Amino acid sequence: MLTRRNLFKLGAVSGVTLLAIETFHASPEIPPALDGLGHSFEFLTPVDRGILSKFTPVILAEALPESNEERVLAIKEVIVGWDIAVSGLPPLTQQEIRKLFLVMDSNFIFSLTPRLLTGVP
């Protein structure tokens, strides 16, 4: 029989389990920022560029070239284009994108609060 006390215990154990999984699953290692083809970045920080260098191959999977050198060059071009595009947006939109990068940063301690505030799992 499911009592209130058992439900509370189950919720507490589930919460601790989820936090433990998040702690061990989150990768604090962000790859080094790509050099940017001589571009002077206005918006993206090195951490942001590292995050984008992780996401870009996943999002553009089939669209990227097969050759490793061409693939790396295409990813760099996407990141430079991203910086140029975001730099042209209004400041309020840039602030929202900055918050999004804070949520995507994989450091558990720093990303827990933004995740709770924004409701992003």
Q: Which two tokens stand for residue 110?
A: 């720093």
Within-domain flag for 18: no
pLDDT in tens, the chain (121 residues): 678 887 787 787 777 676 666 655 555 555 556 666 778 888 888 888 888 888 888 888 888 888 888 888 888 888 888 888 998 999 999 999 888 887 777 664 555 665 566 565 5
Is 72 domain-assigned?
A: yes
Whether 47 is covered by a domain: the verdict is yes
Residue carrying structure tokens 């050099």: 35
In degrees to the nearest 10, what's the CA dihedral of 41, 46, 48, 49?
70
pTM: 0.60
Asked if residue 7 belongs to a domain, the reply is: no
**Which segments of the chain does DSSP mark as H helices, in order?**
4-25, 46-59, 68-87, 91-104, 108-118
Write out the residue range of the structural domain in which residue 60 sits: 29-105
What is the total count of domains within the chain? 1
